[in-house]
Chain A
């Protein structure tokens, strides 16, 4: 089944066709059903239902909030879901702000305070490139003054650094996509024949 669905998806490379559409719909349907089953077994039952029915009555609050989310399906009472959504947005926003401040802002600023004269020539060059690239890239995003003169030159240098980073990201993306193709080809050549007791390639 996995092999036939893989080949059906690959058929899209020739052109769009009913086989590909069928595989796509099967995937979406199974993924949705699987997630619902997993959420019920791994989240709802152990973290809410069982503790609630065994005396942890404070859990009635998140239970009611969860039920309120289903009010989205009604046109008359869908405003009730805003209570639950508001709580979720507030919680995640608070966590995100702390996480960003701790993990990204402070730590990264600290890490980029490197000596411009290090022990070796390579480290010195590397540190200078880091500092110059960081400052030039930041200058590019400073829009309170027109990019002319020294500011404009710094911004243009910043663009070059940004383009290099985009190129590196593109290269890694290519690597990821080729890896997915390799994974499917290894499945079709090794795992699929092995299920019939056939060794197609060594």
Chain B
């Protein structure tokens, strides 16, 4: 067992994940109460309100988080909510720009500077978060393109987070959801919904349980649930079949490995490394 070539496991996982991507099975997607919480919070925002969209991820987490960004932007723009986007990760600003253009401009015909803005990236992590809570124009004097924010119509009347309906945070780690909860939600008592990678999700469930987060989307499954809620199936929905079969394969390997372990232990053939 110790000498079993792991490349066979890689090959099996590869084939099992590839199969449903080519021939979809269309397994049902059940919406969790955490995803529903985020959906309902965004659904309640009156048209014309403004939301701070904190985009804190990079291309390494795109498969899980970009579908969430697209689905949530679909929801926001379909309700005529204006989006003020800011980023705390260097690689996030172009990803946010891509999502805003695909959804805002191409699908809903929204206008940059009027219906949405990308304020770009700012270094400082928690300091930026606290600063955004106090004074957004002072924190982001220029937008992603170098235009002074004072010249943008969407920023009129926006001083700090109190002038916005809620914060939506999509995060891949640090700085991210945990810091937004600790530094902003606890300090300024704003409404905060978050989407995160599956690795981080267990850490953030206590924040949902305590009410600090009104909703939480965890990983590709969370993105697929939100796509189902907004009625815009995308890459997350497409990937869920492969996700489920991949998990079944891993479970099968774990069970098989444990059975073999117990059998070899009973036979006394188990060799210690």
Q: Is the CB of A182 within 8 A of B17?
A: yes
Partner pick for A111 among B14, B121, B186, B211, CB 8 A cutoff? B211
Q: How large is the interface on A (under 10, 10 to 19, 20 to 34, 35 or more residues)?
A: 35 or more
Residues of A at the B interface (CB closer than 8 Å) are 13-14, 34-35, 38-39, 41-43, 46-47, 50-51, 91-92, 95-96, 98-100, 102-104, 107-108, 110-111, 165, 168-169, 171-176, 178-186, 189, 201
Classify the secondary structure of B's interface with A.
Answer: helix
Which residues of A have CB within 8 Å of B78?
A: none
- Extra contacts, 20 of them, besides A46-B140, A172-B218, A174-B250 (Cβ < 8 A), are A38-B121, A46-B141, A46-B142, A47-B141, A92-B125, A92-B127, A95-B126, A95-B130, A100-B182, A103-B178, A103-B186, A108-B206, A108-B210, A175-B247, A176-B198, A181-B14, A181-B246, A182-B17, A182-B246, A186-B238
CA distance A189 to B235 in the complex (A): 12
Q: Is the CB of B10 within 8 A of A179?
A: no
Q: Is the CB of B93 within 8 A of A175?
A: no
Which residues of B have CB within 8 Å of A165?
A: 202
Q: Is the CB of B121 within 8 A of A176?
A: no
Q: Which residue of A lies closest to B125 (CB)?
A: A92
Which residues of B have CB within 8 Å of A14?
A: 7
- B90: Cβ under 8 A from any A Cβ: yes
CA distance A180 to B198 in the complex (A): 11
**Most chain B CB atoms below 10 A, which of A98, A182, A189:** A182
CA distance A184 to B18 in the complex (A): 11
Measured between C-beta atoms, what is the minimum distance from B95 to chain A in Å?
13
